[in-house]
Structure 1
């Protein structure tokens, strides 16, 4: 019975990860259009998904420990080895789907992170162009710069 519960748990994890991937894609569009309110809504929705995934992950770990006794870190692969027949093929299929979804999610999040970083660089560049910082014209300390300006560069005795 707990093998069926593990399958149901993995199916829920898969659905949540796919929903999170969809949110990450929507976040990309929000970043492109500079929609801060939409971005905040998506971010709070992502946090809800992450909490739900964490809860399911704990449940998955507990179910896996029940199935495979004597192991400290129980993976889905260990549960697949313990399963037989149709349950085994279903677990393999769910594992593969979940891995693909997580990889896509990772790529999408890296893209979003890069876009946000580039947006911040553009903002900093624009601010620097609007409000340039005064740069010293020489490398000498300020008191030496003032002394050099009072000394004439033309030697009248020569």
Structure 2
């Protein structure tokens, strides 16, 4: 297995992560606009990207394992691109792998930050929805008059919550 193949897979991972980052930026705008239908479609697109990234990641892991097996190095479960960079014999290979790896790490960090922002925006939206729902619910301290109270019997008024007994 060659370093070029690993580098090529990392480049594909970089492209897929960059595309996923663009979707995360779009998601931010959709969340701000409150467009639930567009958000649903975007989530489907994200799932397709994540599935493709997973395939490329599995391919990368296999290529790294094959690289070390071809060099006659005992295989361990957690071989990384950093290990390949250290084991690479040619300086050009080391530099190419380092450059692609560094770009990928920057994109992943940006994606993580954007996803954190989106998570906070969704959480705030849910808080607003819950606050609105709470303001629409009848308060328990409100006096509920039932027909038994009007006729002078001393029974406790039932709450007006939906009771779904089948």
Query: Is residue 71 from structure 1 mapped to residue 75 from structure 2 by the alignment?
Result: yes
The CA deviation string for residues 30-66 of structure 1, in whole angstroms up to 9 with x for no partner, is: 0000111111111000000000000000100000011
Q: Distance in 2 between matches of 1:106 and 1:135?
A: 45
The CA deviation string for residues 62-98 of structure 1, in whole angstroms up to 9 with x for no partner, is: 0001112313110010010122221110100111111
Q: Name the structure 1 match of 2:139.
A: 133
Normalised by the length of structure 2, the TM-score is 0.79
**Higher percent of residues as helix:** 1
- Please, which of 100, 118, 122 is the counterpart of residue 116 of structure 1? 122
- Please, which of 84, 87, 104 is the counterpart of residue 98 of structure 1? 104
Q: Distance in 2 between matches of 1:78 and 1:135?
A: 66
Measure how far apart 1:133 and its partner are. 3.3
Q: Name the structure 2 match of 1:51.
A: 51
- State the 4+ residue runs in structure 1 displaced beyond 4 angstroms: none
Q: Distance in 2 between matches of 1:33 and 1:134?
A: 34
Cα RMSD of the aligned pairs, angstroms, is 1.6
Q: Which runs of 5+ in 2 are unaligned?
A: 144-153, 155-166
Matched residue count = 138
Measure how far apart 1:132 and its partner are. 3.3
Q: Distance in 2 between matches of 1:104 and 1:14?
A: 12
Q: Distance in 2 between matches of 1:94 and 1:104?
A: 16
- Tell which structure's C-alpha radius of gyration is larger: 1
Q: Which runs of 5+ in 1 are unaligned?
A: 138-145, 147-158
